[in-house]
């Protein structure tokens, strides 16, 4: 009987492949190469969009596809926890909200959702009390935008407004 049967050879070969893949995985987790193009630690996220004022030429033309809306979000605790804002009409397929809020000072997150299509925006902290969202897609016609700002008492101050997509 041979010491290494065909089954032993196959097991040894499989073991070597698994060992090689495991070593590669550990090496990449420890940061020793192979991480080009990967996002690094916390705090490196930024809005996926850009401010057209920072660019010129062909890139600035994309501003016709989005509308910038400024909205300051109150952080005052109030008995009236809902506020309806006036409707906005937009010509592009996206909106981007920005403004002031004190929610970040409290370590809390602002929630902004387009109820019409279910899209929940990423809200980015800019400076100490400023925020900016990524691009929020709007559909043609009525879009209800819901903004929820957490309060000290654990409840939410809620804003809502309509965006009318005219494109």
Asked whether the beta carbons of 81 and 128 are under 8 A apart, the reply is: no
Q: Is the pTM of this model over 0.85?
A: no
The half-sphere exposure of 59 on its side-chain side, counting CA atoms within 13 A, is 8
Eight-state DSSP code of residue 112:
E
Q: What is the pLDDT of residues 79-127, one digit of tens each?
A: 355 666 678 888 888 999 888 887 766 677 889 999 999 999 999 988 8
């Amino acid at each position: 009987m041979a010491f290494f049967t065909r089954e032993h050879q196959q097991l040894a070969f499989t073991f070597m492949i698994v060992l090689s893949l495991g070593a590669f995985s550990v090496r990449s987790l420890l940061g020793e190469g192979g991480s080009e193009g990967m996002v690094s630690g916390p705090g490196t996220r930024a809005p996926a969009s850009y401010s057209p004022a920072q660019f010129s030429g062909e890139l600035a033309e994309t501003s016709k596809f989005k509308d910038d809306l400024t909205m300051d979000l109150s952080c005052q605790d109030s008995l009236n926890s809902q506020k309806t804002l006036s409707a906005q009409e937009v010509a592009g397929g996206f909106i981007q909200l920005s403004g002031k809020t004190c929610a970040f000072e409290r370590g809390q997150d602002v929630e902004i959702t387009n109820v019409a299509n279910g899209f929940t925006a990423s809200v980015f902290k800019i400076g100490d009390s400023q925020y900016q969202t990524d691009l929020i897609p709007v559909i043609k016609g009525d879009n209800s935008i819901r903004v929820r700002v957490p309060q000290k008492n654990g409840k939410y101050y809620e804003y809502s407004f309509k965006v009318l997509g005219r494109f």
